[in-house]
Chain A
Amino acid sequence: MEKSTVFNNRLLPYMLLLPQLVITVVFFYWPASQAIWQSFLREDAFGLVSEFVGLENYQALFAQPEYYASMLTTIIFSSLVAALSLSIALLFATQADKSLKAAPAYKTLMIWPYAVAPAVAGVLWFFMFQPSLGMLARPLRGMGLDWNPLLNGNHAMMLVVMASVWKQISYNFLFFLAGLQSIPKSVIEASAIDGAGPMRRFWTIIFPLLSPTTFFLLVVNVVYVFFDTFGIIDAVTGGGPAGATTTMVYKVYADGRLGGDLGGSAAQSVVLMIIVIALTAIQFRYVERKVQY
């Protein structure tokens, strides 16, 4: 039976909901609707006059080859970051789950990167791999590798991927570890007696039982790479070289703030919003089905 509470005062339930509703309206619905409205307007460079132009901003957007390039960049970047941060975190979590003496210290160390702001993380990685001064860039160049993220788009991509993955591993690690610890020990023991070696045990028992955690993290990580990696990209490459690391969210910023094209930038954020909503819906519809057990 559903538990339900009956309020005697008719106003009280609405009052209790109000704070959450206000926050959602002020910080989500209002800016989102502003963005949608803005995407139908064209503003002059000084922000003095704006004119309704209908779908012109969208037409201009989809006529830009750079926009398709940023889509491709986003796909590469987000799949790399999500796949790497999830799999590395899972590997670390399975190791931390073993009853080792140093496990608590190891866990604490694993969580630290999460406390570092994205921009700061970006700067750290940028310094380490800065081609002429970076602590790690020099040995790379010493080995004869022409390491230069400032000029080579692939190198720049590798760098932002590494920084974003490094930042996200902590979060994924925590959830995977909690997920692993909630698997009954006797189930693992039963499978050991049933003759499954460590690898087989992992893929046939542990991984399927972790699927709710994995699914949750997949959704969170996709949203993370789409939006929260902005700070890292801005600090490490600023979208360069030559747009090689300009993801869709970075392009919104670059075109709107730096380029002054508010209408076009708003149109991009609307497209971005639709993509993320669609992705999340697809994940819930198709991936979650396989999660049930």
Chain B
Amino acid sequence: MANVTLRNVRKTYVGGFEAIKGIDFDVGDGQFCVLVGPSGCGKSTLLRMVAGLETITGGEIDIGGRVVNQIEPADRDIAMVFQNYALYPHMSVYNNMAYGLRNRRMAEAEIKTRVEEAARILELGAMLDRKPRQLSGGQRQRVAMGRAIVRQPKVFLFDEPLSNLDAKLRIAMRVEIRKLQRRLSTTSIYVTHDQLEAMTLADILVVMNGGQVEQIGNPLDIYQKPATTFVASFIGAPPMNLMPLRSDEIKSQLAGDARANEAGILGIRPEDFVITNETVSGGVALGLTVEAIERVGAETFLYGTRQHEVQGVAATPGELPPGEIIVRIPGAVGPAIGERIRAVAASDKLHLFAADGRKRVGC
């Protein structure tokens, strides 16, 4: 059981490329921390630095009150689950799990107890004699988990462990990982690029971009109050609609809102729109032409174009083309393509950001 604390952690490669630009955060004992961000944001590198597989060129990483910068991976008391599982192909499932314990000279009887316990939890009991190549993807994933839990480490590290599984299995394993972590209450750090995985697993969510932390917090807080436009468009699917406030139509509607003076970008989540002809005081109403419709059963997504053409804001990942707005409505009935609709969002549903997108305005 341990805290993991990162203090101004940096990683600069020999060529001068700065992969990690000073990161601070603290994962409390037994908490599940998820690092999320687009490809190349440095999240995997950061995890590998915690594991000891990459050197740390600045700052400190502290596991359980001990600075581990100079400590070998084996001595950090961590276990890692790799994206490709990294099972030992020439060893049976039993030996895969026992390997780390044998290296630590544990008695064979104790190893047997631990491996059998892990196999029971992960439902691998019938497969202990098989080789990894005889297992399915989901089973290999379980063996990788088993190899981590038999060690009873202070910290679990997960490097995109579910990304090689098919969609259905991924959801099932996601739930299992969460249950398992709750049950063992081992501090965990989990890397993913899937924002849905991040939202559902995390106690603490760390959103990263370009080697820096964009926002840290409880996933729902981050969802409700994204600190930057990057976070706003990365967390949530479909992404938040972002509109520049140069548009006169919107600006005039926000005349009564004190935040509008400092702000340059307005954000509205697709689910915060209501299609109505009533006026909403303090809110924003957009006139849209429906151009595409996605019906997924329980909900329907409308892709509309604003009738007043607007120049795009600075491009961020997941952002919509300029002028396009996504509206989510419940149920499967709604307007038809080509229809003109009026989408309204109440004033407490509006997110306002500074013109460069780096700062949230108001609360």
Q: Is B82 an interface residue (CB 8 A)?
A: yes
CB distance from A200 to the nearest CB of B (A): 7
B88: chain A residues within 8 A (beta carbon) = 187, 190-191, 205
B78: chain A residues within 8 A (beta carbon) = 193
Instruction: Choose one: B72, B86, B104, B133; the contact of A190 (CB below 8 Å).
Output: B86
Whether the Cβ atoms of B86 and A293 lie closer than 8 Å is no
Once bound together, how far apart are the Cα atoms of A57 and B168, in whole Å? 74
Whether the Cβ atoms of A186 and B90 lie closer than 8 Å is no
Q: Tell me which residues from 89 to 136 in chain B have a Cβ below 8 Å from any Cβ of chain A.
A: 89-90, 99-100, 103-104, 131, 133
Once bound together, how far apart are the Cα atoms of A221 and B90, in whole Å? 25
Instruction: Choose one: B79, B100, B131, B147; the contact of A293 (CB below 8 Å).
Output: B131
Once bound together, how far apart are the Cα atoms of A205 and B100, in whole Å? 12
**Most chain-B Cβ atoms within 10 A of its Cβ — which of A195, A196, A293?**
A195
Q: Tell me which residues from 171 to 202 in chain A have a Cβ below 8 Å from any Cβ of chain B.
A: 184, 186-187, 189-197, 200
Whether the Cβ atoms of A191 and B84 lie closer than 8 Å is no
Whether the Cβ atoms of A192 and B89 lie closer than 8 Å is no
Q: Is B208 an interface residue (CB 8 A)?
A: no
Evaluate whether A189 and B74 lie within 8 angstroms (CB atoms) in the complex, with A194-B99, A195-B104 already known. no
**Most chain-A Cβ atoms within 10 A of its Cβ — which of B51, B84, B103?**
B103
Q: Is B36 an interface residue (CB 8 A)?
A: no
A193: chain B residues within 8 A (beta carbon) = 51-53, 73-74, 78-80, 100
Q: Is A256 an interface residue (CB 8 A)?
A: no
Once bound together, how far apart are the Cα atoms of A4 and B75, in whole Å? 54
Once bound together, how far apart are the Cα atoms of A194 and B73, in whole Å? 8
Once bound together, how far apart are the Cα atoms of A184 and B53, in whole Å? 14
Q: Is A209 an interface residue (CB 8 A)?
A: yes
- Residue on B nearest A207 in the bound complex, by CB: B90
Q: Is A260 an interface residue (CB 8 A)?
A: no
Once bound together, how far apart are the Cα atoms of A192 and B73, in whole Å? 7
CB distance from A184 to the nearest CB of B (A): 7
Q: Is the interface of B mostly helix, strand, loop or mixed?
A: loop
Q: Is A113 an interface residue (CB 8 A)?
A: no
Whether the Cβ atoms of A190 and B80 lie closer than 8 Å is yes
A200: chain B residues within 8 A (beta carbon) = 103
A293: chain B residues within 8 A (beta carbon) = 89-90, 131, 133
Once bound together, how far apart are the Cα atoms of A235 and B112, in whole Å? 60
Instruction: Choose one: A184, A192, A208; the contact of B84 (CB below 8 Å).
Output: A184
Once bound together, how far apart are the Cα atoms of A186 and B74, in whole Å? 14
CB distance from A183 to the nearest CB of B (A): 9
Q: Is A204 an interface residue (CB 8 A)?
A: yes
Q: Considering only CB atoms and an 8 Å cut-off, how many residues of chain A contact the other chain?
A: 18
Q: Tell me which residues from 139 to 175 in chain B have a Cβ below 8 Å from any Cβ of chain A.
A: 147, 151
CB distance from A186 to the nearest CB of B (A): 4
Instruction: Choose one: A184, A195, A204, A208; the contact of B74 (CB below 8 Å).
Output: A195
Q: Render A266-293 as a binary contact track against B, CB cut-off 8 A, 1 for contact.
A: 0000000000000000000000000001
Whether the Cβ atoms of B53 and A189 lie closer than 8 Å is yes
Instruction: Choose one: B52, B74, B84; the contact of A194 (CB below 8 Å).
Output: B74
B89: chain A residues within 8 A (beta carbon) = 187, 209, 293
Evaluate whether A187 and B53 lie within 8 angstroms (CB atoms) in the complex, with A194-B74, A194-B99, A200-B103 already known. no
Instruction: Choose one: A186, A189, A196; the contact of B103 (CB below 8 Å).
Output: A196
A192: chain B residues within 8 A (beta carbon) = 53, 72-74
Instruction: Choose one: B82, B100, B104; the contact of A189 (CB below 8 Å).
Output: B82
Once bound together, how far apart are the Cα atoms of A278 and B74, in whole Å? 46
Whether the Cβ atoms of A204 and B82 lie closer than 8 Å is no
Q: Render B25-51 as a binary contact track against A, CB cut-off 8 A, 1 for contact.
A: 000000000000000000000000001
Q: Tell me which residues from 192 to 238 in chain A have a Cβ below 8 Å from any Cβ of chain B.
A: 192-197, 200, 204-205, 208-209
A204: chain B residues within 8 A (beta carbon) = 99
Whether the Cβ atoms of A190 and B82 lie closer than 8 Å is yes
Once bound together, how far apart are the Cα atoms of A191 and B80, in whole Å? 10
A186: chain B residues within 8 A (beta carbon) = 82-84, 86
Evaluate whether A184 and B86 lie within 8 angstroms (CB atoms) in the complex, with A193-B51, A195-B100 already known. yes
Once bound together, how far apart are the Cα atoms of A200 and B133, in whole Å? 23
A184: chain B residues within 8 A (beta carbon) = 84, 86
Evaluate whether A194 and B82 lie within 8 angstroms (CB atoms) in the complex, with A187-B88, A209-B90 already known. no
CB distance from B172 to the nearest CB of A (A): 24
- Residue on A nearest B144 in the bound complex, by CB: A190
Q: Render B43-73 as a binary contact track against A, CB cut-off 8 A, 1 for contact.
A: 0000000011100000000000000000011
CB distance from B94 to the nearest CB of A (A): 14
Whether the Cβ atoms of A194 and B147 lie closer than 8 Å is yes
Q: Would you mind naming 10 contact pairs between A and B with Cβ atoms under 8 Å apart?
A: A190-B86, A190-B88, A190-B147, A193-B78, A193-B100, A195-B100, A195-B104, A197-B74, A205-B88, A293-B131
Q: Given known contacts A196-B99, A293-B133, what 12 new A-B pairs fall within 8 Å (CB)? A: A184-B86, A186-B84, A187-B87, A187-B89, A189-B51, A190-B86, A191-B99, A192-B73, A193-B52, A193-B79, A200-B103, A204-B99
Q: List the 8 closest pairs (A to B, CB-CB), nearest first.
A: A194-B100, A293-B90, A186-B86, A195-B103, A190-B86, A195-B74, A186-B82, A208-B90
